[in-house]
Structure 1
């Protein structure tokens, strides 16, 4: 009787686990369907944007690029951080290297020396300080000591933005970041309040 009771209890446990697993599979399937729908929407918008861009003349494309470049440059010029004193050691050297690239164009998957994406700039800057860090921002997030409070950040610390950590820059002091923002922009200073800050990393 005891053995039979144990078997019945085990069967109930297995049935419960099976029901829970079935529910999780349904949730996963629904999530996958929703992600697929969102991907189709994004691809549709990209196709529309490409189609619209293809209707522009060469002169109009050049004017659009110049307007974006001018806007990005003006954003950099408006930032006044006073006399910035770089952090000490490797972070200070990395920040000084990044400062020398202010105005350099953003280029996806490039890590210098003349064009950069966000993690390309940070990895290049630390390489100038003889420190090797991973190339991708997600991996750079695990390259040192995490700092969650902005008040504890020091100039030259890596700072990460967005929940998936796809953007990174160098802390510039006074709530600012020195970074390579996006296509059409240049390496520049920007307020960290413009993006969802996650944490900093001290190398």
Structure 2
């Protein structure tokens, strides 16, 4: 009826308080995911592994976000189609950053221009510059929750 409050999800508008609540909820989940990922630093990278002793890139992001109650698809390419696309200029800790033309590699944005990722077989999980493979290697970013 006219004059009655509307459901923000129904008309697409949100109050400032609802936007802040949403950001706070994301930050909380992202903090859990990032804390988990950082705790894996130094573990071996093994293709197809999703923990707990070793990880591949998407296995690490899947396991990290699972600790925050968010279910992600298994592969980096599938994860690249999950969640909300984020401009690279608006990255927040916890966002997934994808690399290479095929989005075949993923890392968890940690803030300050760094990601936590499992670089590849024979390496270990590490935190390093988002530009580890050069700026041209960055494909896209997604916010999973």
CA shift at 1:180, angstroms?
0.3
Asked if 1:127 corresponds to 2:66, the answer is yes
RMSD: 1.1
Number of equivalences = 116
Query: Which residue of 2 is the match for residue 8 of structure 1?
Result: none
Pairing 1:185-196 to 2, within 5 Å after superposition:
185-195=123-133, 196=137
**TM-score (normalizing by structure 1):** 0.55
The structure with higher relative contact order (CA 8 Å, sep 6+) is: 2
Deviation of residue 147 (structure 1)?
1.3
Aligned position for 2:120: 182
Q: Which residue of 2 aligns with 1:156?
A: 94
Aligned positions of 1:45-124 closer than 5 A = 88-124=27-63
Task: Identify unmatched segments of 5+ residues in structure 2.
Answer: 1-25
Which residue is 1:75 aligned to? none
Q: Distance in 2 between matches of 1:194 and 1:130?
A: 29
Displacement, 1:198? 1.4
- How far did 1:89 drift? 2.2
The 8 Å contact of residues 148 and 198 in structure 1, kept in 2 or not, is answered as no
TM-score (norm 2): 0.76
Give a deviation string over 1:16-40, Cα, whole Å, max 9, x none.
Answer: xxxxxxxxxxxxxxxxxxxxxxxxx
1:170 maps to what in 2?
Answer: 108
Runs of 4+ in 1 over 3 A off after TM superposition: none
d(CA) in 1 for partners of 2:108, 2:79: 12
More strand by share: 2
1:111, distance to aligned residue in structure 2 (A): 0.1
